[in-house]
Structure 1
């Protein structure tokens, strides 16, 4: 009698352990994939730098260069990964979703070219606004579908699969804020198309970077008794914020060229470093202690 039960228990434990290992591998590969996308974008920018001997004023300015396709592909892929990746809390999950959505807008709405003359040998000089508007319309439609699913899933009692942390009050508040922001975006796009296309990139990038910083802060706030790891996250955030402040001051005083490029690079590199070390610090160092939270978050 005990034999079959023992075999059944062993099989169940083995299956559960295999499922946990699969989730960890998927998590690791998704993180590594995002890092590779950042490296791909960096490689394309570096090649343009070597080819022409100078940097552009911002990372976003490479939209107009031969790195155009890589810039858009990387941002869209990163946006999809941020949306797919489940947050450790409901609030973080919604924040990652918002950041991922904004990454698509940053990709499709180009930054202002400014008053500099366009060199046809180095840049695309004519990108029709109708093409940009069509891409933005597609993103807004899918964003609306995503919001609808997020609101309907708990009502249809499917929230645990489609919207984790559906009972989290902070997640609901964040979702409502996201919905209001989406309505404002759609209204601006429909009412003031030219203004939207002129300012949409900068505003989307600003909120996107703010969202990434919020994710780091949220991770530091939800480590409980794990003080060492909490300090680690605060240290990353402090270094990034200090570097941003120094670069901003230097740029405004005219002491640094391409300071916007450097500012964007600091945020991207800081979040990438956090993204790599977060999993190492919280899971791979102590796999047994993290097994239960991992299952809860990634389901």
Structure 2
């Protein structure tokens, strides 16, 4: 009975985090929809930063980032992608996209970015401490965990050096870089949930857990088609908006499918066991 209670608590928390992320995306959609009806379409999702939907835009991206970092991927490879997207999403909000008629507030951007990078650095040191302790105890640490630690450290270092050396350049270009490293890991998460991704990339020796392999491939192919389509339409004023909406919509669809995929007693037990004994040093 005690084990069941423990499993239920773990799985319930895990599911609430997943549902919370969907609720956040829904909130962003509603806010942008209301503003679009009131003031018309913007050329990108990031452009809504300068509208009355701006506070929701910032709050949602910061919260989505926290959820993605807190969520434990089913494999270490998936966990790396979730963490990279999670640490990038808040920076998309804190450093607005440059817009004609809107001068970047370098002082505010510096304050927000420096605060975020400081907290991220402290959190990284805590995780690194757990990693060192695990190595000293001769406990297994996966290759993907090392990749995750290295990639987060590199991202942090780039942000700190860039902000320290050229704040004006950081204010003008960090948004685009952060957005890229938010969206690319989304595609990685989808790929890592296909049967091929689980077996080949994540190197999961057990049989694939997925019931939706074809659906995941359809989402991944859809993402590729969206990039190709709106890349060809880049001269269109709303091409970037279409690209962002398409990718986010497909990822939300994947997230719903994956949530259903994981809502199975056997998978619940696997998730619970993974949370208790996973060799990953990443959260």
State the partner residue of 1:236: 219
**Please, which of 76, 96, 99 is the counterpart of residue 62 of structure 2?**
76
Q: Gaps (5+ residues) in structure 1?
A: 1-13, 118-124
Structure 1 residue 141 and structure 2 residue 95: aligned?
no
Q: Within 1, Cα distance between the matches of 2:76 and 2:144?
A: 7
8 A contact 2:104–2:171 mirrored in 1: no
**What is the correspondence of 1:1-299 to structure 2 with a 5 Å cutoff?**
14-52=1-39, 54-114=40-100, 117=101, 128-157=105-134, 167-220=141-194, 221-222=197-198, 224-226=207-209, 228-249=211-232, 251-252=233-234, 254=235, 256-281=236-261, 283-284=262-263, 286-287=264-265, 289-299=266-276
8 A contact 2:106–2:167 mirrored in 1: no
8 A contact 1:244–1:263 mirrored in 2: yes
Aligned Cα root-mean-square deviation (Å): 2.2
Query: TM-score by structure 2 length?
Result: 0.87
State the partner residue of 1:121: none
Alignment deviations for residues 78-108 of structure 1 (CA, whole Å, 9 cap, x no partner): 0110111111122322321221111111010
Which structure has the bigger radius of gyration? 1
8 A contact 1:159–1:166 mirrored in 2: no
Query: TM-score by structure 1 length?
Result: 0.82
Q: Within 1, Cα distance between the matches of 2:23 and 2:269?
A: 29
How many positions carry a matched residue from both structures? 266
Deviation at 1:59, TM superposition (A): 0.1
State the partner residue of 1:9: none
Judged with a 3 Å threshold, the aligned counterparts in structure 2 of structure 1 residues 38 and 216 are, in CA distance, closer, same or farther, namely same
Deviation at 1:261, TM superposition (A): 0.6
8 A contact 1:90–1:166 mirrored in 2: no
Higher relative contact order (CA 8 A, sep 6+): 2
